[in-house]
């Protein structure tokens, strides 16, 4: 999508592209500049802490999806399977391992540095633990494991927050000090968290703009761009703040002029269906996938995937006055760390708040964190809301499991189902 010259781009998209390119350039030069490198994951990432130690973050899932959008993931997945990883293994993992085995050349064509630290915030996805075991076999570096309790009963208790905070204070920070050679700069951490909170405030305003009719944004396909800076390497930095200020200004202007979301083919003119979507998108055929929706006038007004790295629309903001407790609350509140009843309630609230005509599940073959329980979610939401539910299947970064014809047929049938319910 990013390589097609015909794609419509706003200033925020240009800013993000430049941010990503600059970050991969920094990573490519890390050894020459003496920067320490931390491999970590998106859900519950401790980005402010990494930058407070003046280290550089690398996110393997981001590398995988960026590779997929650049049509590079297929060969990486096949390479990993040659080393014995089965077809049922998360394709993010296989893409990352395959990329590593082929020289660890990042999606922008520049070699990624080896990690000085593997930092795992465990937030509900068991695959992350196995993924780090694989990376530990490849790299001779220390591992910091932050264990985050699962919200089995649907709430964050004070005991949970203290348990995670204590790990941060007594285990994670001392190891990061040892690896970086620096003491934690608490003033720097405070500034980073203040910046994060301001960016989060603007992002929530962007999400809530979808309550307008027509919605000025697509909260799934467009939304994956919106979450890029805040869920990856840039949260806490000035460039992320600038991005979210710019994005909010663009969205506010579309609301004022009653314009729909920007698609790769320009503004969407006719909003016929408003959807809530559960599950990640397909990255290998992202633009083709998106086009199936906007060609039908379908706009996604809320999605669960864009909350995978943190849920801010429930009021959470990073709090510089309580840095460790705040990071603990952030980690425990990630979408993948919520139990099924809580996820169902969250989706039901989104359907109501954003005046959705229906909800759709994209079930990912190799992603158990999302796919487990999705049929239960579908049936329960149908019962509670009376809205039409749809179900399609694809995969994250393995093109072998994206059937355009099958998905298109299911979507057309689903939109007909919405029409039938409207006609009563």
Asked if residue 373 is part of any domain, the answer here is no
Residue 5 has pLDDT above 80, yes or no: no
Residue 332 has pLDDT above 70, yes or no: yes
Return the structure tokens found at 28: 């490519």
Asked if residue 86 is part of any domain, the answer here is yes
Calculate mean pLDDT across residues 315-327. Answer: 97
Asked if residue 155 is part of any domain, the answer here is yes
Asked if residue 92 is part of any domain, the answer here is yes
**CATH number of domain containing 70:** 3.40.50.11890
Q: Which of 179, 172, 271, 229 is nearest to 12 (CA)?
A: 229
| Parallel, antiparallel or unpaired: strands 143-147 and 266-267 | unpaired
Calculate mean pLDDT across residues 146-168. Answer: 94
Rounded to whole angstroms, the Cα distance separating 113 from 92 reads 19
Rounded to whole angstroms, the Cα distance separating 346 from 375 reads 16
Asked if residue 59 is part of any domain, the answer here is yes
Calculate mean pLDDT across residues 380-397. Answer: 95
Q: How many CA atoms lie within 13 A of 224 on its CB side?
A: 19
| Parallel, antiparallel or unpaired: strands 266-267 and 273-278 | unpaired
Q: Which of 335, 343, 339, 411 is nearest to 377 (CA)?
A: 343
Rounded to whole angstroms, the Cα distance separating 233 from 247 reads 18
Mean of all residue pLDDT scores within the chain: 93
Residue 1 has pLDDT above 50, yes or no: no
Determine the structural domain holding residue 117 and report its residue range. Answer: 11-188
Model pLDDT for residues 213-259, shown as the tens digit of each residue? 999 999 999 999 999 999 999 999 999 999 999 999 999 999 999 99
Asked if residue 351 lies in contact with residue 387, where contact means CB atoms within 8 angstroms, the answer is: yes
pLDDT of residue 322: 97
Rounded to whole angstroms, the Cα distance separating 113 from 94 reads 19
Count structural domains, the chain: 1
pLDDT of residue 376: 94
Asked if residue 34 is part of any domain, the answer here is yes
Asked if residue 384 is part of any domain, the answer here is no
pLDDT of residue 125: 83
Q: Percentage of residues in the chain with pLDDT exceeding 70?
A: 98
Residue 171 has pLDDT above 90, yes or no: yes
Asked if residue 270 is part of any domain, the answer here is no
């Amino acid at each position: 999508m990013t390589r097609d010259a015909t794609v419509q781009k706003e200033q925020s998209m240009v800013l993000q592209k430049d941010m990503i390119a600059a970050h991969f350039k920094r990573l490519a030069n890390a050894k020459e500049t003496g920067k320490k490198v931390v491999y970590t994951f998106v859900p519950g990432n401790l980005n402010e802490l990494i930058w407070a130690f003046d280290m550089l973050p690398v996110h393997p899932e981001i590398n995988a999806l960026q590779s997929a959008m650049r049509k590079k993931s297929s060969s990486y997945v096949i390479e990993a399977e040659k080393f014995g990883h089965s077809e049922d293994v998360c394709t993010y993992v296989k893409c990352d391992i395959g990329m590593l085995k082929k020289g660890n050349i990042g999606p922008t064509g520049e070699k990624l540095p080896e990690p000085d630290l593997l930092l795992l915030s465990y937030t509900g996805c068991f695959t992350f633990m196995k993924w780090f075991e694989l990376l530990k076999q490849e790299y001779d570096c220390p591992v910091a494991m932050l264990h985050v309790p699962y919200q089995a009963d649907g709430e964050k208790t004070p005991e949970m927050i203290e348990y995670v905070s204590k790990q941060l204070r007594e285990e994670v920070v001392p190891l990061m000090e040892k690896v970086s050679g620096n003491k934690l700069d608490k003033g720097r951490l405070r500034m980073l968290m203040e910046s994060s909170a301001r960016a989060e405030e603007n992002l929530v305003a962007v999400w809530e703009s979808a309550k307008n009719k027509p919605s000025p944004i697509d909260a799934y396909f467009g939304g994956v761009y919106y979450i890029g800076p805040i869920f990856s390497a840039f949260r806490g930095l000035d460039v992320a703040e600038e991005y979210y200020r710019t994005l909010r200004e663009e969205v506010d202007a579309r609301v004022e002029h009653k314009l729909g979301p920007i698609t790769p083919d320009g503004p969407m003119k006719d909003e016929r269906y408003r959807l809530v979507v559960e599950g990640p998108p397909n990255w290998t055929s992202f633009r083709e996938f998106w086009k199936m929706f906007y060609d039908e006038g379908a706009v996604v007004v809320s999605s669960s995937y864009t909350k995978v790295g943190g849920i801010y629309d429930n009021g959470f903001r990073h709090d510089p006055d309580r840095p460790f407790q705040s990071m603990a609350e952030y980690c425990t509140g990630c979408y993948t760390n919520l139990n099924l009843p809580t996820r169902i309630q969250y989706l039901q609230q989104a359907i109501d708040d954003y005046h959705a005509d229906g909800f759709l599940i994209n079930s990912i073959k190799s992603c158990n964190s999302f796919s487990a329980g999705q049929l239960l979610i579908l049936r329960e939401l149908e019962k509670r809301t009376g809205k039409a539910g749809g179900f399609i299947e694809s995969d994250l970064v393995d093109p072998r499991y994206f059937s355009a014809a099958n998905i298109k047929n299911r979507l057309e049938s689903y939109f007909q189902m919405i029409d039938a319910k409207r006609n009563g």
